[in-house]
Amino acid sequence: MNTINNKFSFARFAAVLKCDLMENWVRYVGVFAILFFANLAYQLTDIKDVVELSTLRALPVEEYMRQLAIDCVPLFYGVLSLSLMCAAADMTTVPFRTKGHATNYLMMPATNMEKFLSRVFINVVMVIVMAYVALFLADLARMLYVAISDIEGFYGFTVPTVWNELFEPLREAYKNGGVGYVIVDNEIVRPEWEMSMAIMAVATLVLSMFYVHSIIFLGGCIWRKGALLKTIFMVFMIAFLIIWVIAQIIPSEEWIEIVFYPWVESVAESEKEFMRFVFLITNVVFATFTILHWWLSYRLFSRKQMIPRMHLFGSNHPHHFFKKAHS
């Protein structure tokens, strides 16, 4: 046997990454173009609404944009997340899209971990960078469009605007001693929003995105074609099953009207500590499941074969999977 190191090697990881980028650059540029045009379409559609609504409400466009950034944060992140997920799902399956590609990739002399991390790098780091660069270029294109088409529009970049609007209350709260009420322009804008709750909420948002991404990545490790659609379908099926089981245990009217709303209201109104605990638990659950999904993804990835064969459970037998998982 030759003297090749079988442990993790950064040089080999870089070489795998380089091969992947060089061999699939057309596809990655294609994904980038889709991200760019999706963002641009979103922004150009948005310009009309901003101008129209700000005129109706007699607000300056910049002021209206600030307000919109707060109101549209969930929508903005929804669009961005969906674009990212599509890109991520597409990129996970790139080396396994055909029998020939899978053969080349599996036979590449590198450890499973090196190959897996190169996929993770492309799937997480590169996708995020691509998304933000696409958004940045879409911003530039939008500003150019606004300038040459002589319409009133917003001159500024989306990410810093949204970032500022999201964290402005936090900065103000810091100025006011770090805890308690959040004051913006001498007005109490979110009297119930304490610092710790705000941080928890942001953490939940970030963790939930990583959680969703991990599901998409896991789906990409299971299915070679149509991974995104199949994963979404499977998630809906599982969610439906869980809701159905809960509905069988607790009657629906009790569950929604008697149990859920009064419980949330009472907890939110009176027991902030408990609410923080609920946030913490949510975050722990998100983080745990995200790690579990990554672990399962690695298991599936390292057991991939040249043709699609489901090997979630080791050598086709459940006991092998659990035996190896515990060893």
Partner 1 sequence: MLKISDLAFSYSGNGCKVFNDFSLSFEKGSVYGLLGLNGTGKSTLLYLLTGLLRPQQGSVLYKGEDVQKRLPSTLSDMFIVPEEFELPKMSIKRYAALHAGFYPRFSYEQLQKNLAMFGLDDSVVFNNLSMGQQKKAFMCYALATNTSLLVMDEPTNGLDIPSKSEFRRLIASNMTDDKTIIISTHQVRDIDSLLDHIVIIDGSQVLLNASSDEICRRLLFAEQPISEPTDGALFVQPSVAGNSVILPNEFDEESRLNLELLFNGVLAERERFMELFK
Q: Is 310 in the site for partner 1 (CB under 8 A)?
A: yes
Burial tier of 188 (Cβ tally within 10 Å: 0-12, 13-18, 19+): exposed
For partner 1, which is the closer residue by CB, 46 or 114? 114
Residue 286 near residue 212, CB atoms below 8 Å: no
Tokens (6 digits) for 307 = 């043709």
Q: Is 300 in the site for partner 1 (CB under 8 A)?
A: no
Q: What amino acid occupies position 194?
A: E
Smallest gap from Cβ 220 to partner 1, in A, equals 19
251 vs 256: CA distance, rounded Å? 9
Q: Quote the distance between the C-alpha of residue 307 and its chain's center.
A: 29
Mark 19-58 with x for binding to partner 1 (rule: CB under 8 A) and - for no binding.
x--xxx-x--------------------------------
- Which of these segments, 12-20, 69-77, 82-90, 278-286, binds partner 1 (CB under 8 A)? 12-20
Q: Which listed residue (291, 307, 312, 325) binds partner 1 by CB under 8 A?
A: 307
SS3 184: strand
Tokens (6 digits) for 145 = 């469009």
For partner 1, which is the closer residue by CB, 109 or 177? 109
Q: Is 323 in the site for partner 1 (CB under 8 A)?
A: no
Q: Is 119 in the site for partner 1 (CB under 8 A)?
A: no
Q: Is 12 in the site for partner 1 (CB under 8 A)?
A: yes
User: What are φ and ψ of residue 177, in 5° steps?
Assistant: 105, 0
Tokens (6 digits) for 68 = 């919109």
For partner 1, which is the closer residue by CB, 102 or 135? 102
**How many residues belong to the chain?**
327
Q: Which residues bind partner 1 (CB under 8 A)?
A: 1-6, 9, 12, 15, 18-19, 22-24, 26, 98-104, 106-112, 302-303, 305-307, 309-311, 315-317
